[in-house]
Amino acid sequence: MTTNIVDVHDVVRTFGEVKALDGMSLSFEPGIIYGLLGPNGAGKTTLIRVLATLLKPTSGSATVAGIDVVADPDAVRTRIGLAGQFAAVDAYQTGRENVEMVGRLYNLSKREARRRTDEVLERIDLMDAADRQVKTYSGGMRRRLDLAASMVGRPEVLFLDEPTAGIDPRSRLDIWSLIEDLVERGTTILLTTQYLDEADQLAARIGVIDRGTMIAEGTADELKDMVGGSVVQLTVPQEKQSTVVGLLRSVSGDEPTIDQSNGRMSIPASSAQTLLTVARKLEEASITPDDIGLRKPTLDDVFLSITGHAAEVGEAGPKRPARSRE
Amino acid sequence: MTALTASDAETTITSPLGRMLRDIGVITKRNVLRNVRLPQLLLFATIQPVMFLLLFNYVFGGSIGRAPQLAQFGSYINWLVPGIIIQTATFGSSQTAVGLTEDLQAGVIDRFRSLPMARSAVLAGRTISDLIRNAFVSGLMLTVGALIGFRYQTSFLQLVFAFLIAMGFAFSFSWVMAAVGLAVKDTETAQTASFIPLFPLVFASSVFVSVESLPDWLRVFADHQPVTVMANAMRGLMLGEAALPAGTTVGGTVTASLVWIAVILLIFFPLSVRLYRRAAG
């Protein structure tokens, strides 16, 4: 059909009265990380579940690696890997046993499953813990192991549903570098996230979804242009305000925006350098600001600028039962 | 880096049946490992039915056992052991519902459903591993029963046959419980929901007492429902025809028990597989 590795056309998926997906379309080329950005209940997980052949769409069509997910789900399953929102690993098996089991279920021979398990455990840096039962693992280690299990079949496309939700910042960085490493080796990755910085860090292209439909799409830069990018924000004592307005004008070449309610001034920042420049000029003028900082746009900013409303958390879409056991 | 997908040399089995059996084996091993590595789970799963056996024998045995219908067996323990094995096996099958809902809630079923594995393997692996556990617990019950006075009155082969009937019923009832688990999807609900069919089946039966003492309306149900049929077939095989209600034969009840097992499997195997395909939807 096309060279797109994922092709979604006008997919609708309803749960009773609720439309979790409402005319969703999405396509992208192989070899990239595509980031799906949206609040809880926007339909991210439902879309992943349709593409991973766990859910049939109510209407519309979707292909993965050129294969229709409804017509031939078995063929799709040989090409994909899935890591859901919660580490689906067995606590009472060792790390190695967990990954090997998934390898065997990809129809690998015992020897090949063992060889690849060593390879992925090495790559995710869990070799030292490989023969310990998973119940002794930290949350971050479990997520990494879950990722290892999804990699063992060497899938062409990997679906990662909020791969860093609920884990500590250090593990988050580990998983980021793992994902970047994977895509360098030729895997295509579709990941969902609620964090703009995560999509910004990882994804070559980002789709913003809300209420089951795509509301904006582009590179991280394009999206940031849409929301205005980062800003330097500062407040200064009342009597210094006019001096500082002139100073900011000289930096940005434009009038700063001033929030009349609290006197906070802001100018667009192309990088952190803008902040340093403003700080240096303030120092030269011997003005000490009450508060100064570089503020990056957040998911809320994206939503505000695109939809005119803030991201409403936990709105439409069915919640799956709470995950208790790991 | 190497090729993206597995080449033929790296995969093993090509026949669908061979792949299915391998997948069932992999899942069964996974579930059995849990029992082995969490021995406390197995320990408590064993203590409860053994306690039942001891309590019924020593607490109720004195009064129930003196009822004229039961007194003919000399000691209540001979009447009790076949019944309590079928009771244990029936209750034990509810673990199938619990185990499946735990896997559903942990996202494990999602992972399995996204893999190119046999669709029936998750359920078959679950029911087979539960059968293994059930056989272990029931075997232990038989041993404890023998220690406190149970003696079979027939041949060893008939004893083995009786045990196999109990296991056949446990396996078929595991498929009922698989359907329950997949329908309710939540562990706590599964735990309570599974008792709804279990209690009337086990207690309005010939497991602990002779059904002759039941009121007429209840007796119609008790006479024909599968747990009574299983208990009678086992008693017939373990104790001889004298242990059966008047007018029934060992051959008749054994045939009836096998028919029940087949009917339950024929209904609930396809039903559970259908529910599994739609599970977590």
Q: What is the pLDDT of residues B219-264, one digit of tens each?
A: 999 999 999 999 999 999 999 988 888 888 999 999 999 999 999 9
Complex ipTM value: 0.86
Indicate whether B7 belongs to any domain. no
Whether B224 is covered by a domain: the verdict is yes
pLDDT reading at B102 higher than 60: yes
Task: Determine contact: A314 vs chain B, CB below 8 A.
Answer: no
| Short-list A174, A143, A225, A163, CA closest to A33 | A163
Range of the domain at B270: 15-278
Q: Is residue B8 part of a domain?
A: no
Instruction: Establish, for the pair of chains A and B, how many residue pairs have beta carbons separated by less than 8 Å.
Output: 112
The SS3 assignment for A205 reads strand
Nearest-angstrom CA–CA distance, A40 and A20 = 11
Angle B270-B276-B281 from CA coordinates, rounded to 5°:
140
Residue A273 distance to chain B (closest CA, Å):
39
Residue B1 lies in a domain: no
For residues B159 and B85, give the distance between their C-alpha atoms in angstroms, rounded to a whole number: 12
pLDDT band at B159 (very low <50, low <70, confident <90, very high): very high
Helices (H), A106-195: 110-123, 139-151, 169-184
- B33:A93 CB<8 A: yes
**Does residue B63 register a pLDDT over 70?**
yes
Residue B106 lies inside a defined structural domain of this protein = yes
Q: How far is residue A297 from each of residues A34, A196, A216, A249, measured CA to CA in Å?
A: 19, 8, 15, 21
Separate counts of helices (H) and strands (E) for chain A: 11, 14
pLDDT for residue A1 = 46
Whether A153 and A106 have beta carbons less than 8 Å apart is answered as yes
Task: For residue A189, list its beta bridge partners.
Answer: A33, A158
Q: List CB contacts of B79: < 8 A, sequence separation 6 or more.
A: B65, B70, B73, B235, B239, B243
For chain A, which domains are there? Answer: 6-219 (3.40.50.300), 230-295 (3.30.70.100)
Whether the predicted model's global pTM rises above the 0.80 cut: yes
Percent of chain B with pLDDT over 90: 61
Among chain A residues, the shortest Cα distance to B18 is held by A107
- Please report whether residue B4 resides in a domain: no
Q: B173 and B197 in contact (C-beta within 8 Å)?
A: no
Q: Give residue B8's pLDDT.
A: 47
pLDDT of residue B277: 84
Q: Which of residues 88-127 of A touch B (CB under 8 A)?
A: 88, 90, 92-93, 97, 101-102, 104-110, 112
Better-scored residue on pLDDT, A303 or B10: A303
Residue A182 near residue A151 (C-beta atoms within 8 A): yes
Helix (H, G, I), strand (E, B) or coil at B250: helix
Q: Kindly state the helix (H) or strand (E) to which residue A194 belongs, with its residue range.
A: none
Quick one: CA dihedral B3, A72, B13, A133, positive or negative?
positive
Distance CA A287, CA A242 (A): 12
Residues of chain A falling short of pLDDT 70: 1-2, 227-228, 298-301, 303-304, 307-326
B191-225: pLDDT as tens digits = 899 888 899 999 888 888 888 888 999 999 999 99
pLDDT at B1 over 50: no
Interface of A with B in 140-159 (CB under 8 A): 149-150, 153-154, 156
Distance CA A101, CA A99 (A): 5
Is B2 among the domain residues? Answer: no
Interface residue ranges in chain B relative to chain A, Cβ cutoff 8 Å: 1-6, 10-13, 19, 22-23, 26, 30, 33-34, 37-38, 102, 104-108, 110-117, 185-187, 280-281
Task: Establish if A72 touches chain B: CB-CB under 8 angstroms.
Answer: no
| Residue A180, pLDDT score | 93
- The pLDDT assigned to A299 comes to 63
Burial (CB count within 10 angstroms: exposed 0-12, middle 13-18, buried 19+), residue B201: buried
CB atoms within 10 A of CB A185: 12
Domain total of chain B: 1
Nearest of B30, B7, B166, B189 to residue B86 by alpha carbon: B166
In this predicted structure, the answer to whether residue B88 has a pLDDT above a threshold of 70 is yes
Tokens of A240: 């210094």
- Quickly list DSSP for A131-154: TSBGGGS-HHHHHHHHHHHHHTT-
The three-class DSSP label of residue A273 is helix
Structure confidence by residue, pLDDT tens digits, A146-162: 999 999 999 999 999 99
- Quick check: is B35 in a domain? yes
Could you give the CA distance from residue B231 to residue B254 in angstroms, rounded to a whole number?
10
Residues in a beta bridge with A108: B11
